[in-house]
Amino acid sequence: MAPVLRLLFWLAASCSAVRAARRTRSGIEVPGPDEDPFYAAPPGIESLAPGTIVRSRPAPAPLSLDNKSALKPKAVWQLLYRTQNSVGKPEVTVATVIIPHNAKLGNVFSYGYFSDAAYNACNPSISMLVGTRDDNYITQYQNIITIAALNEGWVVVVADDGGPQASFSAGPHAGYATLDSLRAVIASGNITGVSSDPIITLFGYSGGSFSMSFASELHPHYAPELKIAGAAVGGISPNVTYLVEEDNGKPWAMFGPPVLLGISHDYPDFAQWLSENLIPEHEAEFRQAEKQCVSANHMFENKPTEYFFKKGVAGFKEPLPFNVTESAGSMGTRGPPKIPWYMYGSVGDDSAPVDLADKLYVSHCKQGANIYYERNPIPMSHKTECLYATPGAFVWLQDRHAGKPIVPGCSTAALTTESVRGVVEGVFFKAVRDNLAAWASQDEIGPKVGVNQTVVNPLIAPWTNASIAELPKPPNPLPSEPVPAPGAPVVTPEVPLIPVPSPTPQTAASASASGETVPPIAATPVAEPATPVSEPAAVTPSAPVAETPTVPASVSEAVTTSDPANTAAPAAPTPGTPAAPAAPTPEAPAATVPKAKGKGGRPKAPKAPKTAKGPKMPKMPRGKGAKGKGSGGVSGVSGLVLMAEEEEGERLVERGWRG
């Protein structure tokens, strides 16, 4: 297995180096949103329903992997649609819709494209195309994922999820824009040909997982009519406020200025606070992040917060900045996702701490979520984990598009069945082949009709005759997360939810349900444009949207209690009477994994906190793993609670990041 992985990494690195060496500018300049009238909001968008298409056009330049060569899907459309920012202010943004040759128009793949910038000229609708800025071309490598999805026949949708002001790291904004892009795509049948009832999946890694996680949490409140089959999220950062301190003075501090400025674009009070607290001599340098893209933001690497702010990190614990950044950047406070998740990350992630991902997993699972979590015990970096684990996530998404059922409940694995299948089925090799064909020979992108596209990993083919049916099945739900009997009521703890701002205005259908009277919006089909930029004569309203109150400034605390299903505290003994010994509770055998070598290997399992009562929780073994059992050395949700709370709980409380 190790030689296979080494070759995979070598191929990925070589491919990236070749592309970087060959990169030259095409001479095409794609104008930014501030110069292109297509992006301008027309008057009266407040009266439009979220997801309403305002304009459409073919993309002004072709897709690219190297900012020069044109990729060849069947069509690339851009839809300008109505959405809203984090605090419910109506706005318009763009979704790029890519149609492959031989498309399966009933399959929609929403990709969270990380732009990692607070400048709107870095938005995906521009950065995916030939002619993007020199400091943004590196984000085009994400089109590798786009090509892989297109070759499955799926329609790919990429939203400018930061909106017209590039509100990078404003999580609710990204969630609303993603959900409204799906509403727009479903309504675009007369433009794109997409089915009105497609199978929808979400995928994102790193900054892309941030958008897709917020979309998942907001989905049941904001767009419950959307039928989403599942979401794969990796390298997840559940709390950007925490990262302001954690990455202070480190290489990942390059994201500090764009994160803070991006959030300020949605919250005027926070923008004013930044102006008042920035050191005047360094303010111009800090605000340079609003004029450049991700590659140029390396200028902020290793810069301490004290370099820019008068009070340093301590200033962000003041009520206004703390409440705003928590509201904008903390997951798990709006309730669990109602759609199944495939979640993955490494214990060695140097950008997205795995302990925060563990806490999010525990919190969501205690509220009834369905999550399959590949928790890689090998200490891989943020970038390496993306290469290592994304094939497994892609296999899981293939199963959702094929209509295969999920195993309900929550479970963890050091190596999921899907990752094993990704190796056996040669997912990485197929992606390399398809991308090289699309880039070098300029093949049309899409599934080849009548051609067997199955790729067997050439490195393991001589040593295996295993069919997919013989591969290990996904693990059963963890002992601490029992599956309720059919028809049984689901009991979940009370968790305060952050209300979602109501879209403006309320649609007639939702108003009638509540007994109110609202003037109806005239409905006229959106016509395909005769010219590159056109406006429809009337508006097509989207599906009704539930009304909810406005987002408050404060954020509810995360739930991190131990799992009651796994252990129970004994009753207190009566005074003067010897306490009866508690009946032994059988413990599920803890699976293990091969011991990680080198620095950063998995630490010894911590003991339960001294304040805990009752029997001890099962320890997590160090490195001797069960083969194929799929727990990755973590004994269920309770094991994750132990590790997450012991390693980070007290530190978060001391620093003020958690109540």
pLDDT in tens, 353-362: 899 999 999 9
Distances (CA, A) of 226 to 181, 403, 543, 596: 11, 16, 9, 42
Tens of pLDDT, residues 100-110? 999 999 999 99
Distance CA 346, CA 385 (A): 6
User: Is the backbone peptide bond immediately before 594 cis, with ω within 30 degrees of 0?
Assistant: no
* Residues 19, 24, 29, 33, CA torsion sign: positive
Q: Which pLDDT band holds residue 37 (cuts at 50, 70, 90)?
A: very high
pLDDT value at 225 more than 70:
yes
pLDDT value at 548 more than 70:
no
Residue type, 460: I
Which residues touch 644 (CB under 8 Å, ≥6 apart)?
355, 358, 359, 362, 560
Distance CA 269, CA 203 (A): 33
Q: Cα-Cα-Cα-Cα dihedral of 145, 148, 154, 156, to 10°?
A: 20
The pLDDT of 531-540, averaged and rounded, is 41
Tens of pLDDT, residues 271-330? 999 999 999 999 999 999 999 999 999 999 999 999 999 999 999 999 999 999 999 999
Tokens of 602: 């998995």
* C-alpha distance across the termini of the chain, in Å: 44
The pLDDT of 155-166, averaged and rounded, is 97
Distance CA 619, CA 589 (A): 10
pLDDT of residue 442: 66
pLDDT value at 649 more than 60:
no
**Least confident residue range of 235-249, 397-411, 589-603:** 589-603
pLDDT value at 642 more than 60:
no
Q: How far is CA 129 from the centre of its chain?
A: 22
Express as a percent the part of the chain with pLDDT over 90.
51
Distance CA 408, CA 341 (A): 11
pLDDT value at 618 more than 60:
no
Distance CA 546, CA 528 (A): 29
pLDDT of residue 250: 87
Nearest to 113 by CA among 225, 206, 177, 250: 206
Q: Which pLDDT band holds residue 583 (cuts at 50, 70, 90)?
A: very low
Long-range Cβ contacts of 350-355 (<8 Å, 24+ apart) = 350/252, 350/381, 350/382, 351/206, 351/235, 351/237, 351/247, 351/252, 351/381, 351/382, 352/206, 352/235, 352/236, 352/237, 352/382, 353/237, 353/242, 353/246, 353/648, 355/643, 355/644, 355/647, 355/648
pLDDT value at 476 more than 70:
no
- DSSP H/E element including 57: strand 53-58
pLDDT of residue 424: 81
Tens of pLDDT, residues 554-566? 333 333 333 333 3
pLDDT of residue 441: 62
The pLDDT of 413-441, averaged and rounded, is 80
pLDDT value at 520 more than 70:
no
Q: Higher confidence at residue 522 or residue 231?
A: 231
Angle between helix axes 256-264 and 319-329 (nearest 10 degrees) is 90
The pLDDT of 332-343, averaged and rounded, is 95
pLDDT of residue 123: 96
Q: Higher confidence at residue 33 or residue 587?
A: 33
pLDDT value at 147 more than 90:
yes
Nearest to 88 by CA among 547, 628, 643, 636: 547
Residue whose token pair is 């900045």 = 321
Quickly count: other Cβ atoms within 10 Å of residue 280's Cβ: 7
- Mean pLDDT score of the chain, rounded to an integer? 74
**Least confident residue range of 97-101, 261-265, 347-351, 371-375:** 347-351
Q: Are strands 53-58 and 90-99 parallel, antiparallel or unpaired?
A: unpaired
pLDDT value at 184 more than 70:
yes
Distance CA 305, CA 656 (A): 17
The residues that are catalytic are: 206, 349, 382
- DSSP H/E element including 640: helix 636-644
pLDDT value at 11 more than 70:
no
Residue type, 413: A
Domains identified in the chain and CATH numbers: 2-238+331-406+431-455+495-514 (3.40.50.1820), 243-328 (1.10.260)
Q: What are residue 112's DSSP bridge partners?
A: 204
Distance CA 116, CA 169 (A): 8
Residue type, 407: V
The pLDDT of 483-498, averaged and rounded, is 44
Tokens of 166: 């590039």
Q: Which pLDDT band holds residue 659 (cuts at 50, 70, 90)?
A: very low
pLDDT of residue 15: 40
**Least confident residue range of 131-135, 320-324, 528-532:** 528-532
pLDDT of residue 27: 58
Does the model's pTM come out above 0.75? no
The helix/strand/coil state of 24 is coil
Tokens of 59: 């993309």
pLDDT value at 539 more than 50:
no
pLDDT of residue 247: 82
Q: Higher confidence at residue 606 or residue 659?
A: 606
Q: Which pLDDT band holds residue 434 (cuts at 50, 70, 90)?
A: confident
Tokens of 595: 């011991």
pLDDT value at 457 more than 60:
no
